[in-house]
Structure 1
Amino acid sequence: MKSAVETLNPTRVRLTVEVPFEELKDSLDAAYKKINQQVTVKGFRKGKIPARVIDQRFGRGAVLEEAVNDALPKFYTEAVNEAEVNPLGQPEVDITELKDGELLAFTAEVDVRPAIEIPDYSGIEVTVDAVEVTDEDVEKSVEQLRERFASTSPVERAAQDGDVVTIDLEAKVDGEVLPDGVASDVSYTIGSGELLDGIDEAVKGLEAGGEATFTSQLKGGSAEGKDAEVTVKVSAVAARELPELDDDFAQLASEFDTLDELKADSRKRLENMKQFDQATQAQERVLDELLKLVEVPMPEKLLEDEINTRKHNLEHHQLGQMGLDLGKYLEIQGKTEEEFLAETKEQAEKGIKTQFILDELVNREKLDVSREELTEHLFRRAASSGMSPDQFAQAVAQGGQVPMLVGEVARGKALAVVVEAAKVVDTNGEVVDLSDDEDEATETVEAAEGTESEASEDK
């Protein structure tokens, strides 16, 4: 076999391949064998029809077509290896010559990874939010915990903010009660904003047995988006009672003996959360600066496929689970389809560019992924996908996605290398140490590439 490679542009090549006919022998034999199992010729046992009879009855052309289809992937792979190119996606193959007994010639055009030059990135500087937990933050956290332990008791008075009311609802559009517009014994906390717009004003001031009518735009159901006349009847009013903030509450709501210990633990947890947010912010900003430094030619076919994949995943996975279509989603977002496609293209370009640059860094820095690192990443991805580790591992193995997970971890390690070399300071001017944040870096890479939300989906 002879092959040559021609660079069409920085991201696409054309392979020209010539194969002597004798190299098709194995594929020809396989073609005759396959056809033998599929056809019946009177006078011959199934599977024992001579090649000359197959040629006469079904045509040599059918055999050649079967043989070429069988052989092309092997010859294409050999040509790719010989040319030392890194193909992206499937090639466009064109058979230019097929002479029976003499020659098979074909061309294959395919997108390839562009050559990337990564400049010195040690000069990257970014500023991130400082980790600051105020007394107000701690008080808010404790108050949220206190809310979870609130109790209710019936009261004989008009409903007011914070009360829990038991209500019946009936919604009409154009004077007709909607088939899904009736609900009974609904428990609602006034001021929570969990039901219809306008309901708080309607029920405040009502005692048990009272009712009111108001107009509200429906947020779901058969008449979603339409204005409805809603009648609300209050059957019970209950006051919410919060426990006293003391040591008894700390023992009730936590493993701590005193309120001071509970508050100290709340402060520590808030600090950890803000440190995580700070690390993520630093990695995102360092990555953005790195992307600005590197020129990356964009493979057009790969970009088109990535845009279509993102659009498909949004429409058929994310929106489908919410009962929305793309048109309704764009209406809610206040975007035109052109704006949506422009944003999707921008995100896809960033994802592809991120992968190319970090993959180049993985090779340059000779970064390996250990079994322990891969297992830890698999457990985290399983948790984010709502699957058990065993289920997720099985799905990954069956889908041939293990190399994808290895790539994600490796690129996270590459980003961590860049972050460690960069200068990261907080808004107080303090230097931030992010040397132990490879896991967070992997999550940042996933977000940039658009893979995190697709953990359990086929890509």
Structure 2
Amino acid sequence: MIKTTVKEKEGCVRILSVEVPREQVSRVLDETLIAMSKYASVPGFRLGKAPKDLVMAHYGERIKDEALKRLISDSYQEVLDTAQLVPVSVPEVYELEFFDEKPLRFNIKLEVKPDIKLKEFFQIKIKRKKYTIKESDVEERLNYLRESNAEFVSVEDRSIQNSDYVIADVECFVDGISKEKTQNIWLAIKEDSQDEIAKALLGSKRDEIKRIIQKLPDNYPKEDLRSKEAEFVITIKEIKKKILPELDDEFAKLVGNFNSLDELRTGLKQSLKVEYMKLELEDVKAQAIDALNNLYDFCVPASFVTREAERIKDQLRHKLLESNVKEELLNEKIAKIEPSIKEDATKNVKVYLILNEIADTHSIGVNEEELAKRVEVLATVAKQDAAGFRDYLIKNGLLDDIKLQIRQDKVLDFILSKAEVIEEEVVVLTDSNAEKSLLIDRHEI
């Protein structure tokens, strides 16, 4: 019988000290020798006909290696079953003792799935925010549409005024040396702007060249230029005035499938209602996730956290590259928020393990109809054929991720059906960026 002791180390790490009795070692060695004798090539004997002692003499090390692999594999699985451990990392075998006429001894270091004892869901309290849509919200959205459809008309006969837009070439000099040059950049001219360069252009004319001395900020992207005094040479190429379209029936036809301005207002109101319903659902699910995170306390496998942290970093890198952040600055920016990335990765893994345990305990799964419906929705968003999109998901190993997301959504719905939910009215912000503020990534850089 295999002897095993299990020692708990930091977090979810376990050290298994294993001893396989000599009788079992000898039996596996004999079985390996017999199996190899059938194919062993020994000089002076036909294939598979050599005496076992000669086969052992010629292939002893190989036989021992094969037997050792089998002994470790078989005993590892037996030890896990006996100790009721579920590994979540690749095992590390060390301090191996494999001597003639002695038991096989070795240690295994691995991370295991934490033991999660589920708690009652009534301990979770959720505040469901009910958004009330006002006419001012609709007007704010209308104004946003007007801004989005504004026309920029070139101005020839006057100087730059407040609220104009300027197209210019900007070159930055430090110590008389050109460090950066940007062509055809758009500058919004505002009297109350924090941008000193834009403010300094007020009253200037087309084709005029302005020189502005300004100290570069401490957080300037190029580290070697931070806090240095720079001269900006601005060549004004065009002056443009923004003209907003009139709010009338023609505008409604322009921005969508609407016959009148009243229809457009009704459509915007319905759109806002759908958006806020989505926000309500996202908010209660986020609260449920936070509640689960606070309700449970158990070790989180470090290997899981490392993989999740890398996934978050990859997402951030992609996002920063899309925002035109230079590649050489990516690692510097990500390093600054490393602690918050690890914190979020730990939380994500912890909640995943809790949701998975709840799903297993309450037999919450995903059927083919649910999966097909979700794939169809995603395909519509991606503007692709559902069958082709599913093939793409399968080919890239993403279909299981979709199933996992559906399962987690169903678990969260199950939790919300059991939790204490209190409704509260919320006044919707009318700032044009209000809806964006609710969705800002905590890792925004």
> Paired residue for 1:367?
364
Local SS of the residue matching 1:182: strand
Measure how far apart 1:29 and its partner are.
7.3
> Displacement, 1:269?
1.1
TM-score calculated relative to the size of structure 2: 0.75
Contact 2:19–2:103 under 8 Å retained in 1: no
**Pair 1:347 & 2:348 matched:** no
Higher relative contact order (CA 8 A, sep 6+): 2
Partner of 2:209 in structure 1?
211
Tell me if structure 1 keeps the 8 A contact 2:207–2:237: yes
Partners of 2:159 and 2:405 lie apart in 1 by: 58
Shift in alpha-carbon separation, 1:251–1:107, aligned structure 2, 3 A? same
1:27–1:68 CA contact under 8 A, matched in 2: no
Cα distance in 1 for partners of 2:267, 2:125 equals: 33
Cα distance in 2, alignment partners of residues 279 and 54 from structure 1: 70
Could you give the per-residue CA deviations for residues 389-434 of structure 1, whole angstroms, max 9, x where no partner exists?
544432216xxx83x55444323322211111123233239xxxxx
Change (3 A) 1:248 1:415: same
Number of matched pairs: 410
Residue among 274, 277, 280 paired with 2:279: 277
Q: How does 1:38-437 map to 2 (within 5 A)?
A: 56=57, 60-69=60-69, 72-94=72-94, 96-100=96-100, 104-155=104-155, 156-178=157-179, 181-191=180-190, 197-214=195-212, 215=214, 217=216, 220=221, 225=226, 227=228, 228-294=230-296, 296-299=297-300, 302-303=301-302, 305-313=303-311, 318-319=316-317, 321=321, 322=325, 323=327, 324-329=329-334, 340-341=338-339, 343-375=340-372, 390-396=391-397, 402=400, 405-428=402-425
SS of the aligned residue for 1:127 comes to strand
CA contact (8 A) 2:122 2:419 kept: yes
Normalization by structure 1: what TM-score?
Answer: 0.73
In the alignment, structure 1 segments of 5+ residues that lack a partner are 334-339, 430-443, 451-459
Which amino acid counterpart does residue 210 of structure 1 have in structure 2?
Answer: E
**Distance apart, 1:230 and its partner CA:** 0.9
Contact kept in structure 2, 1:383 and 1:389, CA below 8 Å: no
Q: CA RMSD in A?
A: 4.4
Unmatched 5+ stretches in structure 2: 427-438
Contact 1:94 1:107 in 2 (8 A): yes
CA drift at 1:108: 3.0
Q: Quick check: 2:161–2:202 contact (8 Å CA) kept in 1? A: yes
Deviation (angstroms), 1:232:
0.9
Deviation at 1:276, TM superposition (A): 1.1
Q: 1:245-288, CA deviations, whole angstroms, 9 ceiling, x for partnerless residues? A: 00010011110011111111111111211111111111121232
Structure 2 CA distance, aligned partners of 1:378 and 1:3? 50
Q: Which amino acid aligns with 2:408?
A: R
Q: Which shows bigger deviation, 345-354 or 143-152?
A: 345-354
- The 8 Å contact of residues 167 and 233 in structure 1, kept in 2 or not, is answered as yes
How much has 1:126 moved relative to structure 2? 2.1
Residue 233 to residue 413, structure 1, CA distance change in 2 (3 Å): same
**Aligned 8 A contact 1:21 1:102 in 2:** no
The alpha carbon displacement at 1:32 in A equals 8.6
Q: Distance in 2 between matches of 1:211 and 1:392?
A: 55
Instruction: Look up the SS of the partner of 2:397 in the other structure.
Output: helix
In 2, the alpha carbon distance for the partners of 1:48 and 1:395 equals: 50
CA contact (8 A) 2:170 2:183 kept: yes
SS at match of 1:118: coil
CA contact (8 A) 2:37 2:49 kept: no
- Supply the distance in 2 between the matched residues of 1:120 and 1:346 (Cα, whole angstroms): 26
Residue deviations 1:333-387, cap 9 Å, x none?
Answer: 6xxxxxx43x444334322321222222112211111123345556778999999
Please say which of residues 407-416 and 305-314 is displaced more in the overlay. 305-314
Deviations 1:285-333 (A, max 9, x none): 1232233333x3205xx22x244335544556634744224444455x6
Give identity over the alignment, percent.
Answer: 22
